[in-house]
Amino acid sequence: MTNVFLTRLDSPIGRIELLGDDVAVTALSIERDGALPHDDEPERSNEVLDEAHRQLDEYFAGIRTDFDVPVRLVGTPFQQAVWAELERLGWGEAISYGALAAAVGKPGSARAIGGAVGANPVPIIVGCHRVLASDGRITGYSGGNGIPTKLWLLGHERIGFAA
Protein backbone atom coordinates (compact mmCIF):
# COMPACT_ATOMS: atom_id res chain seq x y z
CA MET A 1 0.00 0.00 0.00
CA THR A 2 1.22 3.49 -0.88
CA ASN A 3 1.56 6.14 1.78
CA VAL A 4 -0.71 9.15 1.37
CA PHE A 5 0.50 12.56 2.50
CA LEU A 6 -1.40 15.83 2.91
CA THR A 7 -0.43 19.45 3.39
CA ARG A 8 -2.15 22.81 3.03
CA LEU A 9 -1.04 26.33 2.24
CA ASP A 10 -2.57 29.77 2.06
CA SER A 11 -2.56 31.56 -1.29
CA PRO A 12 -4.05 34.66 -2.91
CA ILE A 13 -6.81 32.44 -4.41
CA GLY A 14 -7.67 30.69 -1.14
CA ARG A 15 -6.31 27.76 0.77
CA ILE A 16 -4.73 24.99 -1.27
CA GLU A 17 -4.56 21.33 -0.35
CA LEU A 18 -1.87 19.05 -1.74
CA LEU A 19 -2.00 15.26 -1.70
CA GLY A 20 0.92 13.05 -2.59
CA ASP A 21 2.51 9.69 -2.25
CA ASP A 22 6.12 8.78 -1.51
CA VAL A 23 7.43 10.28 -4.76
CA ALA A 24 4.92 12.65 -6.39
CA VAL A 25 2.10 15.15 -5.97
CA THR A 26 -1.13 13.36 -6.87
CA ALA A 27 -3.78 16.06 -6.31
CA LEU A 28 -4.15 19.78 -5.76
CA SER A 29 -7.43 21.31 -4.61
CA ILE A 30 -8.25 25.00 -4.30
CA GLU A 31 -10.63 26.06 -1.57
CA ARG A 32 -14.26 26.43 -2.68
CA ASP A 33 -16.82 28.11 -0.43
CA GLY A 34 -14.37 27.98 2.48
CA ALA A 35 -13.78 24.23 2.30
CA LEU A 36 -11.18 21.76 1.06
CA PRO A 37 -11.88 18.06 0.36
CA HIS A 38 -9.84 16.78 3.31
CA ASP A 39 -10.35 19.57 5.87
CA ASP A 40 -11.25 16.97 8.49
CA GLU A 41 -7.91 15.17 8.16
CA PRO A 42 -4.64 16.19 9.83
CA GLU A 43 -1.69 17.32 7.78
CA ARG A 44 1.01 14.75 7.20
CA SER A 45 3.63 16.12 4.84
CA ASN A 46 6.75 14.68 3.23
CA GLU A 47 9.67 16.01 1.18
CA VAL A 48 7.71 16.02 -2.10
CA LEU A 49 4.82 18.02 -0.65
CA ASP A 50 7.18 20.35 1.20
CA GLU A 51 8.90 21.08 -2.13
CA ALA A 52 5.55 21.59 -3.90
CA HIS A 53 4.49 23.95 -1.10
CA ARG A 54 7.73 25.94 -1.53
CA GLN A 55 7.34 26.11 -5.32
CA LEU A 56 3.70 27.22 -5.06
CA ASP A 57 4.68 29.93 -2.56
CA GLU A 58 7.32 31.14 -5.05
CA TYR A 59 4.79 31.02 -7.92
CA PHE A 60 2.30 33.16 -6.01
CA ALA A 61 5.09 35.56 -5.03
CA GLY A 62 5.93 35.96 -8.74
CA ILE A 63 9.45 34.54 -8.47
CA ARG A 64 8.76 31.08 -9.97
CA THR A 65 7.50 30.63 -13.51
CA ASP A 66 7.68 26.85 -13.84
CA PHE A 67 7.35 23.81 -11.62
CA ASP A 68 9.71 20.88 -11.42
CA VAL A 69 8.10 18.97 -8.58
CA PRO A 70 7.13 15.43 -9.65
CA VAL A 71 3.43 14.82 -10.29
CA ARG A 72 1.50 11.60 -10.87
CA LEU A 73 -1.46 12.14 -13.17
CA VAL A 74 -3.85 9.20 -13.22
CA GLY A 75 -6.44 9.20 -15.99
CA THR A 76 -7.47 7.74 -19.32
CA PRO A 77 -4.98 7.71 -22.21
CA PHE A 78 -6.89 10.66 -23.74
CA GLN A 79 -6.69 12.65 -20.48
CA GLN A 80 -3.00 11.77 -20.18
CA ALA A 81 -2.35 13.14 -23.68
CA VAL A 82 -4.20 16.39 -22.90
CA TRP A 83 -2.38 16.84 -19.59
CA ALA A 84 0.99 16.18 -21.27
CA GLU A 85 0.25 19.05 -23.67
CA LEU A 86 -0.72 21.30 -20.73
CA GLU A 87 2.60 20.47 -19.06
CA ARG A 88 4.41 21.83 -22.15
CA LEU A 89 2.81 25.28 -21.73
CA GLY A 90 4.95 27.78 -19.92
CA TRP A 91 4.28 30.82 -17.76
CA GLY A 92 2.23 33.36 -19.66
CA GLU A 93 1.36 31.01 -22.54
CA ALA A 94 -2.21 30.16 -23.49
CA ILE A 95 -3.78 27.66 -25.87
CA SER A 96 -7.29 27.24 -27.23
CA TYR A 97 -9.40 24.13 -26.76
CA GLY A 98 -9.28 23.63 -30.54
CA ALA A 99 -5.50 23.92 -30.73
CA LEU A 100 -5.19 21.54 -27.80
CA ALA A 101 -7.48 19.07 -29.62
CA ALA A 102 -5.28 19.28 -32.72
CA ALA A 103 -2.12 18.86 -30.63
CA VAL A 104 -3.38 15.54 -29.23
CA GLY A 105 -4.49 14.34 -32.67
CA LYS A 106 -8.22 14.77 -32.04
CA PRO A 107 -9.25 17.83 -34.08
CA GLY A 108 -12.88 18.79 -33.61
CA SER A 109 -13.06 17.34 -30.09
CA ALA A 110 -12.96 20.61 -28.16
CA ARG A 111 -15.81 19.51 -25.84
CA ALA A 112 -13.96 16.32 -24.89
CA ILE A 113 -10.82 18.41 -24.43
CA GLY A 114 -12.76 20.61 -22.00
CA GLY A 115 -13.70 17.54 -19.98
CA ALA A 116 -10.10 16.36 -19.81
CA VAL A 117 -8.86 19.84 -18.88
CA GLY A 118 -11.46 20.04 -16.10
CA ALA A 119 -10.42 16.62 -14.78
CA ASN A 120 -6.78 17.70 -14.30
CA PRO A 121 -5.94 16.49 -10.77
CA VAL A 122 -3.07 18.96 -10.27
CA PRO A 123 -4.19 22.42 -11.45
CA ILE A 124 -1.73 25.33 -11.36
CA ILE A 125 1.26 22.94 -11.41
CA VAL A 126 -0.22 21.53 -14.64
CA GLY A 127 -1.56 24.80 -16.01
CA CYS A 128 -5.13 24.08 -17.08
CA HIS A 129 -6.01 27.72 -16.38
CA ARG A 130 -4.09 28.55 -19.57
CA VAL A 131 -6.78 27.09 -21.86
CA LEU A 132 -9.12 29.62 -23.51
CA ALA A 133 -11.82 29.55 -26.18
CA SER A 134 -10.63 30.00 -29.77
CA ASP A 135 -11.65 33.68 -29.64
CA GLY A 136 -9.68 34.20 -26.41
CA ARG A 137 -12.70 34.16 -24.08
CA ILE A 138 -12.79 32.45 -20.71
CA THR A 139 -15.35 29.66 -20.84
CA GLY A 140 -15.03 28.17 -17.37
CA TYR A 141 -12.78 26.79 -14.69
CA SER A 142 -13.42 23.98 -12.24
CA GLY A 143 -10.82 24.95 -9.63
CA GLY A 144 -11.47 27.04 -6.56
CA ASN A 145 -14.28 29.53 -7.10
CA GLY A 146 -14.35 28.95 -10.85
CA ILE A 147 -13.93 31.87 -13.22
CA PRO A 148 -12.75 34.38 -10.55
CA THR A 149 -9.94 31.93 -9.69
CA LYS A 150 -9.03 31.56 -13.37
CA LEU A 151 -9.10 35.36 -13.82
CA TRP A 152 -6.63 35.76 -10.96
CA LEU A 153 -4.28 33.10 -12.37
CA LEU A 154 -4.41 34.58 -15.89
CA GLY A 155 -3.75 38.07 -14.52
CA HIS A 156 -0.89 36.77 -12.38
CA GLU A 157 0.76 35.32 -15.50
CA ARG A 158 -0.20 38.36 -17.61
CA ILE A 159 -2.17 36.20 -20.07
CA GLY A 160 -4.53 38.32 -22.10
CA PHE A 161 -8.07 37.19 -22.81
CA ALA A 162 -11.20 38.54 -24.48
CA ALA A 163 -14.03 39.89 -22.39
**Residues known to be catalytic:** 128
Q: Please report the beta strands in the chain, taking only residues with DSSP state E, as ranges in sequence order.
A: 5-9, 16-20, 25-30, 95-96, 131-132
Contacts of 115 (CB under 8 A, 6+ apart): none
Give all strands of the β-sheet with 16-20 in edge-to-edge order. 5-9, 16-20, 25-30
Q: How many CB atoms lie within 10 A of CB 48?
A: 22
One-letter amino acid of 41: E
Q: Judge whether 157 and 92 are in contact, CB under 8 Å.
A: yes
Q: Judge whether 47 and 18 are in contact, CB under 8 Å.
A: no
Q: How many CB atoms lie within 10 A of CB 83?
A: 21
